[in-house]
């Protein structure tokens, strides 16, 4: 009796165990499916026009002969670089980028082309913040084509990608309370007779998601990092004061604005908001979906002793067209009575500067890497932006590179360093706090500073103001 009972019990246990294992396998499968489903929601798909629209877009396109080698959105501009085989187009004269929409309207941009190694290489602009302004395009389906002119013919070709570039969603800057969603990606369209690779866009009106902004304002320093100090005045207090005033002013234009810090940091602690670590100012900017970032700072000379150095400086990223920075300098100096800086080092225009890693900076970077025992970053001379916020918020456009190896400086991995979308960022040095003349303007002329800066931003974004 007992022996039979235990055999039966053992058998039941085995059956129960089998049921449990099966249930766990099913649960695991469902869990994986749910995880995949949630991840899939975050993945952006390339646009797909209906069949008749595809025929309109590609009706006279001969082949997918162009290859896109670089693709990114910086600020509000789409930048493309690529190549075609020179042997396919003997007698080459010129090449244009054509945006064709579903209403059969073509908009052409003349490309800058060079010949090298049997290839005709092209780019939409020599500047990273110029080229195809996505905010200026009308709603509809588009295909990016290339019009090649030789001494004997004119042909349209479409493009394929060299790498697996992800499809992306871009939201235009808010104007009159409205936004467009621009969906861009590589896909395949059919004319009915042939199927071709192409870069496609779909533009339609859409409200900004809760986590997408127009502008980021980065108030420099904060927490235990006071920045420059002079006669009891701390740079971090000025930066948050000015940043909050600028936020209010830009919101008055209808813009959606995010701050990287709000001024509630404890003065004896280095908080993540005031540094470059996880959930720090770089990551907050990169995850904002914004198009522009303005880093508010005030200058000082070494030792913060009284100095004759004075004036406004605006720093741009390497590769920028400086027209917007020029406009900000002009507007701020006229409004706030601050003079542009006379500093010559890295100056590219009146009050406008671009600083890159030169040989001295690279040598210093290598010394630091050796001291702390990590492989130095491979930084090309005079081609990578020096200032952290300008570089690390721009993704591939600005050569962001921080991968976490220099963690002793609170430099966690910048997970957006390879992003094909980047913020057009400017470092605003609004005067020297250890120059008594500049300090008086900084203390007394805040509203005039903000007015001048707001007017320049509104002009750049095409927003009408009362001023």
| pLDDT on residue 72 | 97
Distance CA 433, CA 41 (A): 49
Q: Is 262 contained in some domain?
A: yes
Band of residue 180 on the pLDDT scale cut at 50, 70, 90: very high
The verdict on 167 and 296 lying in the same domain is: no
Lowest mean pLDDT among 55-64, 261-270, 297-306, 316-325: 261-270
Of 3-17, 35-49, 348-362, highest mean pLDDT: 348-362
Phi, psi of 250, deg, nearest 5: -70, -35
Q: Is 42 contained in some domain?
A: no
Of residues 190 and 289, the one with the higher pLDDT is 289
Return all residues near 285 (Cβ < 8 A) that are at least 6 apart: 216, 218, 258, 260, 293, 389, 393, 423, 425
Nearest partner of 72 among 383, 401, 397, judged by Cα: 397
Nearest partner of 318 among 376, 397, 393, 389, judged by Cα: 397
Q: Is 446 contained in some domain?
A: yes
| pLDDT on residue 274 | 59
| pLDDT on residue 42 | 58
What predicted TM-score, i.e. pTM, was given to this entire model?
0.89
Band of residue 192 on the pLDDT scale cut at 50, 70, 90: confident
Average pLDDT rounded to a whole number, residues 33-41: 33
Lowest mean pLDDT among 27-36, 136-145, 303-312: 27-36
The verdict on 228 and 354 lying in the same domain is: yes
Residue given tokens 């993540």 in the structure block: 272
The verdict on 222 and 154 lying in the same domain is: no
Distance CA 291, CA 319 (A): 17
The verdict on 116 and 221 lying in the same domain is: no
Band of residue 265 on the pLDDT scale cut at 50, 70, 90: confident
Average pLDDT rounded to a whole number, residues 306-321: 98
Boundary residue ending a domain (205, 227, 249): 205
Distance CA 446, CA 64 (A): 55
Phi, psi of 393, deg, nearest 5: -95, 0
Q: Is 132 contained in some domain?
A: yes
CATH assignment of the domain containing 86: 2.60.40
Mean pLDDT, the chain, integer: 89
Residue given tokens 């805040």 in the structure block: 446
Is residue 65 scored above 50 in pLDDT?
yes
The verdict on 193 and 171 lying in the same domain is: yes
Q: Is 288 contained in some domain?
A: yes
Lowest mean pLDDT among 87-91, 183-187, 408-412: 408-412
Number of domains in the chain: 2
Lowest mean pLDDT among 54-68, 239-253, 319-333: 54-68
Is residue 459 scored above 50 in pLDDT?
yes
The verdict on 187 and 286 lying in the same domain is: no
Boundary residue ending a domain (176, 205, 234): 205
Share of the chain above pLDDT 70, in %: 89
Phi, psi of 107, deg, nearest 5: -120, 125
Longest dimension (CA), the chain: 104
Boundary residue ending a domain (205, 235, 261): 205
Q: Do residues 225 and 274 touch, judged by C-beta distance below 8 A?
A: yes
Nearest partner of 100 among 140, 129, 64, judged by Cα: 140
Q: Do residues 66 and 80 touch, judged by C-beta distance below 8 A?
A: no
Distance CA 438, CA 393 (A): 29
Q: What angle do CA 276, 280, 283 make, to 5 degrees?
A: 95
Distance CA 183, CA 169 (A): 5
Band of residue 275 on the pLDDT scale cut at 50, 70, 90: low
Average pLDDT rounded to a whole number, residues 120-127: 97
| pLDDT on residue 164 | 87
Question: 51 - beta bridge partners?
Answer: none
The verdict on 254 and 144 lying in the same domain is: no
CATH assignment of the domain containing 283: 3.40.630.40
The verdict on 134 and 236 lying in the same domain is: no
Is residue 160 scored above 80 in pLDDT?
yes
Distance CA 255, CA 174 (A): 6
Question: 458 - beta bridge partners?
Answer: none
| pLDDT on residue 103 | 81
Lowest mean pLDDT among 1-5, 66-70, 225-229, 364-368: 1-5
Average pLDDT rounded to a whole number, residues 74-94: 97
Average pLDDT rounded to a whole number, residues 302-330: 97
The verdict on 389 and 320 lying in the same domain is: yes
Q: Is 15 contained in some domain?
A: no
Range of the domain at 97: 51-205
Write out the chain in H/E/C secondary structure. CHHHHHHHHHHHHHHHHHHHHHHHHHHHHHHHHHHHHHHHHHCCCCCCCCHHHHHHHHCCEEEEEEEEEEEEEECCEEEEEEEEEHHHCCCEEEEEEEEEECCCCEEEEECEEEEECCEEEEECCCCCCCCEEHHHCCCEEEEEEEEEEECCCEEEEEEEECCCCCCEEEECCCECCECEEEEEEEEEEECCCCEEEEEEEEEEECCCCCCCCCEEEEECCECCECCCEECCEEHHHHHHHHHHHHHHHHHCCCCCEEECCCCCCCCCCCCHHHCCCCCCHHHHHHCCCCCEEEEEEEECCHHHCCCCCCCEEEECCCCCCCHHHHHHHHHHHHHHCCCECCCCCCEEECCEECCECCHHHHHHHHHHHHHHCCCCCCCCCCCCECCHHHHHCCHHHHCCCCCCCCHHHCCCCCCCCCCCEECEEEEEEEEECCCHHHHHHHHHCHHHHHHHHHHHHHHHHCCCCCC
Long-range contacts of 345-348 (CB under 8 A, 24+ apart): 346/315, 348/316, 348/322
Based on its alpha-carbon atoms, the radius of gyration of the chain, rounded to whole angstroms, reads 27
Is residue 67 scored above 80 in pLDDT?
yes
The verdict on 186 and 243 lying in the same domain is: no
The verdict on 171 and 231 lying in the same domain is: no
The verdict on 231 and 200 lying in the same domain is: no
């Amino acid at each position: 009796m007992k022996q039979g009972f235990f055999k039966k019990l053992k058998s039941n246990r085995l059956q129960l165990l089998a049921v449990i294992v099966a249930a766990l396998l099913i649960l695991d499968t469902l869990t994986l499916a749910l995880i995949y489903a949630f991840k899939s929601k975050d993945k952006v798909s390339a646009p797909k026009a209906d069949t008749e629209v595809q025929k309109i877009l590609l009706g006279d396109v001969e082949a997918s002969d162009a290859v896109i080698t670089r693709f990114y959105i910086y600020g509000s501009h789409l930048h493309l670089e690529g190549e075609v085989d020179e042997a396919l187009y003997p007698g080459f004269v010129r090449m244009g980028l054509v945006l064709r929409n579903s209403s059969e309207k073509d908009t052409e941009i003349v490309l800058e082309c060079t010949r090298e190694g049997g290839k005709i290489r092209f780019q939409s602009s020599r500047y990273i913040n110029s080229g195809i302004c996505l905010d200026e395009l009308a709603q509809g389906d588009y295909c990016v084509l290339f019009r090649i002119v030789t001494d004997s013919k004119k042909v349209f070709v479409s493009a394929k990608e060299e790498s697996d570039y992800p499809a992306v969603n871009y939201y235009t800057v808010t104007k009159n309370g409205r936004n467009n969603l621009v969906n861009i990606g590589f896909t395949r369209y059919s004319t009915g007779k042939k199927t071709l690779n192409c870069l496609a866009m779909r533009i339609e009106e859409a409200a900004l998601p809760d986590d997408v902004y127009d502008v980021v304002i980065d108030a420099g320093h904060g927490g235990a990092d006071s920045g420059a100090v002079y006669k009891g005045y701390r740079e971090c207090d000025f930066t948050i004061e000015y940043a909050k005033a600028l936020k209010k002013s830009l919101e008055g234009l209808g813009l959606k604005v995010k701050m990287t810090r709000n001024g509630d940091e404890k003065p004896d602690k280095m908080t993540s908001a005031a540094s470059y670590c996880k959930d720090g100012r770089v990551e907050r900017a990169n995850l904002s979906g914004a198009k522009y970032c303005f880093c508010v700072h005030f200058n000082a000379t070494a030792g913060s002793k009284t100095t004759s150095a004075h004036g406004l400086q605006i720093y741009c990223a390497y590769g920028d067209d400086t027209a917007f920075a020029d406009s900000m300098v002009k507007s701020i100096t006229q409004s706030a009575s601050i003079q542009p800086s006379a500093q010559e080092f890295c100056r590219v225009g009146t009050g406008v500067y671009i600083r890159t890693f030169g040989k001295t900076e690279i040598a210093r970077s290598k010394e630091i890497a050796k001291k702390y025992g990590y492989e130095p970053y491979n930084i090309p001379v005079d081609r990578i932006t020096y200032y952290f916020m300008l570089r690390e918020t721009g993704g591939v456009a600005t050569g962001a590179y921080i991968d976490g190896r220099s963690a002793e400086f609170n430099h966690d991995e910048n997970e957006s360093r390879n992003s094909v979308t980047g913020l057009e960022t400017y470092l605003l040095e609004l005067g020297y706090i250890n120059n008594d003349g500049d300090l008086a303007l900084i203390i007394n002329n805040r509203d005039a500073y903000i007015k001048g800066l707001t007017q320049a931003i509104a002009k750049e974004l095409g927003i009408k103001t009362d001023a």
